[in-house]
């Protein structure tokens, strides 16, 4: 909250400085009639001063907001080593202390040591807040007044402002890179820590997955088993079912809509099908778990099959429905990109429309279609909510779609929701699974985009 | 032609056109089959759309009504404040300030009032178990409504009023016909004697279905009849607002730089490939990123709209960037050249001439990105927005949940009453999404310019 107020005060200050800068530039030029003697328009002098007032201060504020918690936590960690607090879980203690300072935790429930530390924490927090107000406002006023003082007809205000804006744009555009690095680093570091506890051979090739952490050390399978093959198999099974539904329907509807359908039908059917792509996956999950899965189970029971109520089939079919619009719109794009002259040539030779499509259009569009299907596969592998809600949690190694299977994404969710300690092999396993997922989907995407791009170059 | 010119001797080898003619029937059949298959695929797709929506609506429309039971409630002053006469004489009472203190009124046992009214309505009920079953007709949350009434107007004390109280979810399901009365008693959640009470109430007109305001004004609850989406809506609102504030400037800046200013070199190529690939990274991986970087490294508080919006920002950025670049691309170069020709700097050209023309397209992309963010669930589970939160969050730093996560949580609940509420929440969510997408379409139609 403090950060927000300070930010708003800074904005106000910058607006004021802008007006002063503009006025001052006009004054330096010798009045409104002599503005052309300035290098830049007066508003740029205002902007120049405003940038000097706001930018360094905002940077400082941003750093403070990002790191104050960490720094404060380190500061009080020193005090925690004393007395009975020693040896307890640090993060819990810090949470307690924060709750105490906020008044969220009743003071009488806390031990006197904890209360003492909480008081220190509150003092530090207050100090840091006063400090940041003083520093930020000082920096803003200092920068602003320096820039105002520098106003001079020869000052290249516009160029300075524009190059600052350009730098800001470059910083913005590297956020995307930072995100990728963030993903890679966060997932990688935790995975490395996981592989120090569990060997990667066991993880990639082990056939048994049961990550429960035992309550007592002497319990059976106390360390848990982290063989991820059942998860990979489950993911594959559900993706295969989904693709078996989505590819024929998606492809055939794309062909029909682009080659056969009357204009009116296309104008209505295409957007309606694309509605499927806009529906949140949690809705599909609900549909799968409460409508499709019971229906399949009842159907199976009526023909004498024993179907699990969390069957991979239900999750796979619903996921297939979700993917139909992806396959169909990507195929539609590539089919439309095939030049009309090729169709005309085949038709002129006496081929029927379907022969033209099967022998000429589809082979020409094949790379694009394959690329689209790969993208759809990567989507199916990374899909989470449908499988979390409709597929099971138990890691069965089976190829039977009527049984309950689990997937990589389900296990990530299961391992990371609820109470968790951050260092246990169980939590770290989620990051190892995330790394696998990231690598596989990224590879699929790179290949798919490469195929699509290479194909497009042929006809353009 | 040569073949035709030569005389055909009896049953000699057939000509090419004979071959073609003979195969025509088969080929036309194949043509029809192929075409029918295509039409079938489209129809199947449309059936899926209709089935999905039909299923959700048919399950959820009943949740917009809630069963209420009318009972004469006596605000017994003696029971509530410990002062004044017992029972209700419908006369104004003089009570001491101490008795009317906020503390005492809010701590009083209002459940007793309801129980007493129920016992008076069904005097034949006796025995502990039977009484308990009787009390279960009314929702355990109903007493809070009574408390609110008394806190607002203490002159109610000593009065008897006919009030509509929220019925329990089992009664609600029974009245809505979602519990099969023909099932054997052991398989039903609601027993025969309760059904008899409900029928007796219905006969005397003391049961009524009313519009379900609770659903729109309450936060989460363990009792289906007291559960609402207000908390989740507020959480979604804060999360989405922050996401918009973070992602729009970032995306527009990135698009502007990459499309208009960036030199074509390896670094910018790398950024481009990166953005395209980020758009296809599974959303759950962004959740892992949020957990490891924002929560564990930067110490952003868990479960808050702030951390949720940071994750969703990173997730929607690629979508908005790609749309914004397309919008910039569609502005014709002549605009830029004209501006540059009269002496504008490149930055001035962009800010005063190109951006205003590209903004509608960028906004369209942003709305679509926001719609995906609104429906996103998986990464938010990782960063703790899954907590059970009864209070409606008041700001971006309060623990909260969002609408899709609420749907996920309710879908997991075993009570029958939650099924219809989940479907209703989905209808609300889909309503928002449809509205946003329509807005995007309208925006595009309205401002789209063909150059």
> How high is the pLDDT of residue A104?
56
Interface of A with B in 406-425 (CB under 8 A): 409, 412-413, 416-417, 422
> How high is the pLDDT of residue A202?
87
Q: Which of A155, A182, A200 is the last residue of a domain?
A: A155
Is the per-residue pLDDT at A421 higher than 70? no
Minimum mean pLDDT range among A67-71, B7-11, B150-154, B410-414:
B7-11
> How high is the pLDDT of residue B109?
84
> How high is the pLDDT of residue A253?
94
For B413, half-sphere exposure in the C-beta direction (CA atoms, 13 angstrom radius) is: 22
What is the band of B159 on the pLDDT scale with cuts at 50, 70, 90? confident
> How high is the pLDDT of residue A418?
63
Is the per-residue pLDDT at B451 higher than 80? no
> How high is the pLDDT of residue A223?
58
Q: Considering the domain boundaries, does residue A285 fall inside one?
A: yes
Same domain, A105 and A25: yes
Give the dihedral of Cα atoms A236, A241, A245, A250; nearest 10 deg. Answer: -10
Partner-chain contact A177 B270, CB within 8 Å: yes
For the beta carbon of residue A84, count every other beta carbon within 10 angstroms.
10
Q: Considering the domain boundaries, does residue A448 fall inside one?
A: yes
> How high is the pLDDT of residue A343?
93
Partner-chain contact B254 A422, CB within 8 Å: no
Minimum mean pLDDT range among A45-49, A104-108, B75-79, B167-171:
A104-108
CB contact at 8 A, B412 and B54: no
Is the per-residue pLDDT at B45 higher than 90? yes
**What ipTM does this complex have?**
0.89
Rounded percentage of chain B residues whose pLDDT exceeds 70: 97
Domain with CATH 1.10.3720.10 in chain B: 230-447
Global pTM value? 0.88
Same domain, A148 and A231: no
Mean pLDDT of A17-23: 92
Number of domains chain A contains: 2
Q: Considering the domain boundaries, does residue A113 fall inside one?
A: yes
Partner-chain contact B254 A321, CB within 8 Å: no
**Farthest-apart Cα atoms in chain A, separation:** 96
Is the per-residue pLDDT at B7 higher than 60? no
Same domain, A102 and A7: yes
Task: Give CA–CA dist B168/B69, Å, rounded.
Answer: 9
Is the per-residue pLDDT at B252 higher than 60? yes
Q: Considering the domain boundaries, does residue A342 fall inside one?
A: yes
Q: Which of A125, A155, A185 is the last residue of a domain?
A: A155
CB contact at 8 A, A426 and A224: yes
Task: Give CA–CA dist B127/B378, Å, rounded.
Answer: 49
Residue in B48, B283, B292 closest to A186 by CB: B292
Is the per-residue pLDDT at B426 higher than 80? yes
Residue in B31, B397, B419 closest to A290 by CB: B419
What is the band of A109 on the pLDDT scale with cuts at 50, 70, 90? low
pLDDT, averaged across chain B = 87
Q: Considering the domain boundaries, does residue A129 fall inside one?
A: yes
Query: What is the CATH number for A290?
Result: 1.10.3720.10
CB contact at 8 A, A409 and A315: no
C-beta contacts of A162-167 below 8 A and 24+ residues apart? A162/B345, A162/B346, A162/B347, A164/A51, A164/A55, A165/B347, A166/B257, A166/B261, A166/B347
Same domain, A235 and A150: no
Is the per-residue pLDDT at B1 higher than 50? no
Same domain, A357 and A246: yes
Nearest residue of chain B to residue A350 (CA atoms): B20
What is the band of B5 on the pLDDT scale with cuts at 50, 70, 90? very low
Is the per-residue pLDDT at A28 higher than 80? yes
pLDDT tens profile B180-201:
888 888 778 788 888 888 888 8
What is the band of A456 on the pLDDT scale with cuts at 50, 70, 90? low
pLDDT tens profile A429-438:
899 999 999 9
Architecture of domain B230-447: Orthogonal Bundle (1.10)
What is the band of B377 on the pLDDT scale with cuts at 50, 70, 90? very high
Same domain, A234 and A377: yes
Distance from CA of A212 to the nearest CA of B (A): 18
Partner-chain contact A409 B282, CB within 8 Å: yes
Same domain, A148 and A266: no
Residue in A249, A256, A441 closest to B282 by CB: A441
Same domain, A246 and A355: yes
Partner-chain contact A173 B422, CB within 8 Å: no
Q: Considering the domain boundaries, does residue A185 fall inside one?
A: no
Q: Which of A155, A180, A202 is the last residue of a domain?
A: A155
Same domain, A312 and A452: yes
The larger pLDDT score, comparing residue A387 to residue A401, is at A387
Residue in A170, A269, A353 closest to B46 by CB: A269
The larger pLDDT score, comparing residue A180 to residue B32, is at B32
pLDDT tens profile B71-101:
888 888 888 887 777 777 777 777 777 777 7
- Which positions in chain A touch B30 (Cβ < 8 Å)? 352, 354-355
**Which of A281, A293, A384 should we substitute to test contact with B (largest number of B Cβ atoms within 10 Å)?**
A384
For the beta carbon of residue A183, count every other beta carbon within 10 angstroms.
23
Which residues span the domain enclosing A369?
Answer: 225-459
């Amino acid at each position: 909250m403090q950060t927000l107020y300070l930010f708003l005060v800074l904005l106000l200050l910058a607006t004021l400085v802008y007006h002063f800068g503009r006025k001052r530039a006009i004054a330096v030029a010798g009045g409104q009639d002599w503005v052309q003697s300035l290098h830049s328009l007066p508003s740029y002098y205002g902007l120049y001063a405003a940038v000097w007032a706001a930018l360094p201060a905002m940077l400082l504020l941003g750093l403070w907001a990002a790191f104050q918690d960490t720094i404060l936590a380190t500061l009080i960690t020193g005090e925690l080593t004393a007395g009975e607090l020693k040896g307890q879980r640090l993060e819990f203690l810090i949470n307690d202390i924060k709750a105490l300072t906020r008044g969220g935790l009743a003071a009488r429930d806390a031990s006197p040591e904890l209360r003492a530390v909480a008081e220190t924490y509150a003092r530090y927090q207050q100090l840091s807040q006063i400090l940041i107000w003083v520093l930020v406002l000082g920096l803003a006023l200092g920068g602003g007044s320096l820039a105002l003082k520098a106003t001079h007809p020869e000052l290249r205000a516009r160029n300075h402002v524009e190059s600052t804006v350009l730098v800001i744009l470059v910083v913005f555009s590297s956020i995307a890179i930072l995100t990728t690095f963030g993903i890679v680093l966060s997932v990688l570091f935790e995975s490395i820590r996981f592989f120090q506890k569990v060997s990667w051979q066991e993880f990639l090739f082990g056939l048994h997955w049961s990550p429960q952490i035992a309550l007592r050390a002497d319990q059976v399978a106390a360390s848990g088993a982290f063989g991820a093959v059942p998860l990979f198999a489950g993911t594959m099974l559900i993706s295969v079912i989904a693709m078996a539904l989505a590819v024929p329907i998606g492809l055939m509807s794309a062909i029909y809509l682009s080659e056969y359908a009357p204009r009116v039908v296309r104008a209505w059917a295409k957007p309606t099908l694309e509605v499927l792509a806009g529906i949140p996956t949690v809705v599909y999950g609900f549909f799968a778990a409460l409508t499709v899965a019971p229906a399949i189970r009842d159907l199976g029971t009526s023909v004498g099959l024993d179907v699990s109520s969390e069957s991979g089939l239900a999750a796979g079919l619903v996921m297939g429905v979700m993917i139909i619009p992806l396959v169909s719109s990507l195929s539609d794009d590539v089919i439309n990109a095939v030049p009309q002259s090729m169709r005309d040539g085949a038709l002129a030779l006496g081929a029927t429309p379907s022969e033209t499509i099967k022998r000429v259009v589809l082979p020409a569009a094949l790379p694009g279609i394959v690329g689209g299907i790969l993208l759809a596969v990567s989507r199916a592998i990374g899909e989470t909510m449908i499988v979390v809600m409709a597929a099971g949690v138990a890691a069965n190694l089976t190829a039977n779609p009527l049984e309950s299977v689990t997937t990589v994404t389900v296990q990530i969710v299961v391992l990371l929701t609820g109470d968790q300690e951050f260092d246990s092999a169980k939590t770290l396993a989620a990051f190892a699974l995330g790394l696998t997922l990231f690598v596989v989907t990224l590879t699929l995407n790179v290949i798919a985009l490469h195929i699509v791009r290479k194909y497009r170059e042929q006809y353009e | 032609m040569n073949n035709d010119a030569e005389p055909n001797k009896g049953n000699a080898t057939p000509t090419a056109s004979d071959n073609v003619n003979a195969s025509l029937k088969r080929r036309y059949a194949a043509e029809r089959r192929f075409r029918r298959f295509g039409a079938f695929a489209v129809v199947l797709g449309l059936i899926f759309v209709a089935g999905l929506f039909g299923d959700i609506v048919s399950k959820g429309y009943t949740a917009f009504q809630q069963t209420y039971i009318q009972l004469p409630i006596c605000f017994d002053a003696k029971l509530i404040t410990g002062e004044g006469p017992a029972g209700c004489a419908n006369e104004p009472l003089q009570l001491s300030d101490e008795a009317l203190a906020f503390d005492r009124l809010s701590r009083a046992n209002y459940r007793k009032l309801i129980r007493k009214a129920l016992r008076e309505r069904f005097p034949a009920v006796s025995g502990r178990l039977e009484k308990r079953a009787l009390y279960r007709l009314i929702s355990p949350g109903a007493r809070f409504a009574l408390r609110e009434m008394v806190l607002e107007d203490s002159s109610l004390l000593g009065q008897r009023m006919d009030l509509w109280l929220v019925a329990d979810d089992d009664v609600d399901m029974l009245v809505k016909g979602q519990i099969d009365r023909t099932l054997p008693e052991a398989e039903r959640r609601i027993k025969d004697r309760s059904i008899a009470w409900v029928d007796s109430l219905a006969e005397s007109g003391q049961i009524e279905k009313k519009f379900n305001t609770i659903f729109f004004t309450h936060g989460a609850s363990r009792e289906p009849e007291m559960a609402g989406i207000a908390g989740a809506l507020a959480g979604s609102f804060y999360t989405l607002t922050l996401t918009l504030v973070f992602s729009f400037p970032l995306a527009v800046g990135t698009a502007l730089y990459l499309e208009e200013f960036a030199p074509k070199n390896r670094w910018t190529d790398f950024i481009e490939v990166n953005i395209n690939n980020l758009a296809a990274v599974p959303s759950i991986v962004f959740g892992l990123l949020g957990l490891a970087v924002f929560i564990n490294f930067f110490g952003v508080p868990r479960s808050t709209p702030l951390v949720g919006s940071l994750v969703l920002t990173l997730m929607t950025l690629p979508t908005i960037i790609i749309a914004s670049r397309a919008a910039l691309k569609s502005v014709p170069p002549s605009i830029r050249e004209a501006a540059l020709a009269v002496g504008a700097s490149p930055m001035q050209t962009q800010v005063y001439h190109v951006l205003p023309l590209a903004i509608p397209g960028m906004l369209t992309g942003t709305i679509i990105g926001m719609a995906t963010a609104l429906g996103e669930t998986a990464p938010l589970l990782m960063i703790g927005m899954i907590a059970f939160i009864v209070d409606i969050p008041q700001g971006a730093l309060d623990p909260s949940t969002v609408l899709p996560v609420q749907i996920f949580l309710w879908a997991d609940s075993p009570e029958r009453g939650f099924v219809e509420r989940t479907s209703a929440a989905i209808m609300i969510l889909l309503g928002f999404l449809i509205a946003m997408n329509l807005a995007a379409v309208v925006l595009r139609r309205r401002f789209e310019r063909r150059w």
